[in-house]
Structure 1
């Protein structure tokens, strides 16, 4: 534990020191933690020796995904979904299942997996990670509808993909109708806890008897999240659907709680995510990267450059998005942290194809993190008009205005 804490603190300090540079270049903090984990793991230096079945790996991955889904849900209250549903609805209603289907077809025909296992791979790799699209979402020169589309889609699709992962995993494990019924109860109980606990807590805080001070306001949503986690554990409800539902409920009924917790919550989720990425990198060894063969690497490439782009192209036919906007949405379908945890869940499940599914998922995620995290700045600059125009363009444009606009020309200079 001391070794892991030292490694994480050291890499975190390095990430903080280079974060400003990372915001301006292709350097990525997520890739930094992934590569650091690989270098420190058994595949290289052997400083961090972890196994997929280690309790620490499972616990950290569980807590990290809970925090990520809770904060993701908080980005998309029902009011946000109602006012901005047209484009994200296409991406989620059509793009997500189409991405799942195309990815599953590739896994079946290229890797020889059975259809259930292939659909499981498709469900794991269907969600996108908002971290790698941050350069677009945070760039004011990117059209607002595109930024909103990427933000809402990436915030919702982790939670939407989860039921598919759980159902396909249950079928792959040979579950009968009784077990599938128990799975449905687990998922439903998770949603119930995720809605009821935040709603009751917010309503209590809005009564005359209770009022949170400014100092403690950010802890309100944290307390709600911890209570949802504890009740989910105690009742065996699905923690991840509970987290996602809780986030949406807070965003819907507690605008003040959402606003006060937003920055604090994102930092907590980011810490958990980076720690889990460090451990995930330590699980990646040269033998794992080589065990998938050329078919595995070919599948990883096709999953990134064919499945998502094809699904987005079909989903946005007649949407009014420009070619440039569609290209940006199509490329920024990175496989991120949710896919990491879903892959670990499959590995721990004991299904016959669990090891192969995890290896394929791991290779695809590694390739995605390296490619997408190094191209977000480049794609964001497509929308920077000043970068697109040569230096002489501004002068020529002012000369064409003629003498009647000299005052405006001087003002521009």
Structure 2
């Protein structure tokens, strides 16, 4: 009920749980005295790993491929430019040293996938697919670069400058490289075990993936690689390769990532002292306005200068760059290492994130409508069958689309003369499923799920959709 109400106003539901944490804290009605940054950071790493992995798992490479170049530029160069612009602004506005200023910039440089898509998800209307895909790619992949910059500037802020500069140079080369290699290598090992080992219960497969996820992060990080990037690559490969039990894994991680996000926001809310937020309200408001109105649009227009996105789409992408839990988690990392000196940074970041969620979250749909970028939502659900499980049997299974030039267009199932043993399980059309019978007609762009009694019969059966192969052969149509 509350989720639907907040959605109508365009507010991320997770903001509610942030306020729940604040109300439950030492200065709220709950009176819970909690200021353990070490525990918060440890639990936050678990939550962020799950969130990033799930983001990769749910991302379709076919959707992001057309915007891959723009997304990579935004999640790398965009992060660097954001860090620089916010850093310079903080240096002159708050009169703090450059390392601390750039540390604040790095903390606030990433956008949040959960916040962005809670706001943009709508059953009736959505933004254009390439805009959504770009925001999805950017928000899912910019945390690793932001985390790298946070650790670099935290080191510069704390340690010997010459040593930190050398470590920073090494980190820029080794950190992402080890992350990519580690994520890909762990996927290969996981796929081999997942597909070959027969576990007694299906519920053990998510547990296996969970173990690989955290082992991936831990080992890559121990070798000074980017653990977050490794986790994202791992999730991206699992979501886009043919592996057994993918539907079980997707459902499990989608649910558990939301559970951990809720817990994370409540925990972060507990760390906040409302009285301290009032003290930095004016500074936080100025930083939020600069970040939302000046820095983000400037960086988006620079990074997408040579892209195919038009002016309206760039404006929407600029406004949809919501902040979420990640900057607060990064701020808690700083507080854990620096101590009470970091209270100003933590409170400033928290205030900016709240303003971003409330202001941008409540107006992004309105802006999309004003820019004529809200289109009718088309739901494209996956077929409710684990295709990879059937592929391990002698049967053949194929998912394909009816093209405009195919013989099957406007023909009935019975007109195709399909071979004996060929079964059309589902036709996906307009976001729904049709269980066909002999009189069901095909339309262009229909997605078909077909099963054959033997794998080597697939190609032969496919030709009946492409060409007129009508023959007096038995046709078998399922009704369930």
- TM-score of the aligned structures, taking structure 1 as reference length: 0.77
- Find the aligned partners of 2:298 and 2:353 in 1 and give their Cα distance: 19
What CA distance in whole angstroms lies between the structure 2 residues aligned with 1:354 and 1:57?
Answer: 15
CA positional deviation for 1:352: 8.3
Partners of 1:238 and 1:349 in 2: how far apart? 19
Contact 2:218 2:227 in 1 (8 A): no
Taking a change above 3 Å as real, the CA distance of residues 181 and 384 of structure 1, as seen in their structure-2 partners, is closer
1:147 and 2:147 are equivalent in the alignment: no
Equivalent position of 1:198 in the other structure = 187
Q: Is the 8 A contact 1:111 1:296 kept in 2?
A: no
Note the 1:243-282 alignment, pairs <5 A.
243-251=231-239, 260-282=248-270
Query: Whose RCO is larger (CA < 8 A, sep 6+)?
Result: 1
Corresponding residue to 2:9 among 25, 33, 38: 25
How far is 1:365 from its partner? Answer: 1.2
Q: Which structure 2 residues correspond to residues 220-369 of structure 1 after superposition, within 5 A?
A: 220-229=208-217, 231=219, 239-251=227-239, 260-292=248-280, 294-350=282-338, 353-369=341-357
Is 2:93 aligned against 1:110?
A: yes
The CA distance in 2 between the partners of 1:355 and 1:302, in whole Å, is 21
Which ranges of structure 2 fall in alignment gaps of 5 or more residues? 377-480
1:72-221 correspondence to structure 2 within 5 Å: 72-75=55-58, 82-134=65-117, 135-136=119-120, 141-175=126-160, 181=167, 184=171, 193-207=182-196, 216-221=204-209
23-32 or 119-128, which deviates more? 23-32
1:75/1:152 contact within 8 Å kept: no
Deviations 1:35-77 (A, max 9, x none): 1112221232243221043x54233212111212222333458
Determine the C-alpha separation between the residues in 1 that align with 2:30 and 2:216: 37
Contact 1:103–1:122, Cα closer than 8 Å, also in 2? yes
Larger helix share, 1 or 2: 1
Distance 1:166 1:230, change over 3 A: closer
Match of 2:51 in 1: 68
More strand by share: 2
For residues 238 and 314 of structure 1, what CA distance do their matches in structure 2 show? 26
C-alpha separation between the residues in 2 aligned to 1:252 and 1:148? 15
- TM value normalised by structure 2: 0.67
Quote the RMSD (CA, aligned, Å): 3.3
Q: Which residue of 2 aligns with 1:409?
A: none
User: Which has the higher mean CA deviation after the structures are superposed, 289-298 or 279-288?
Assistant: 289-298
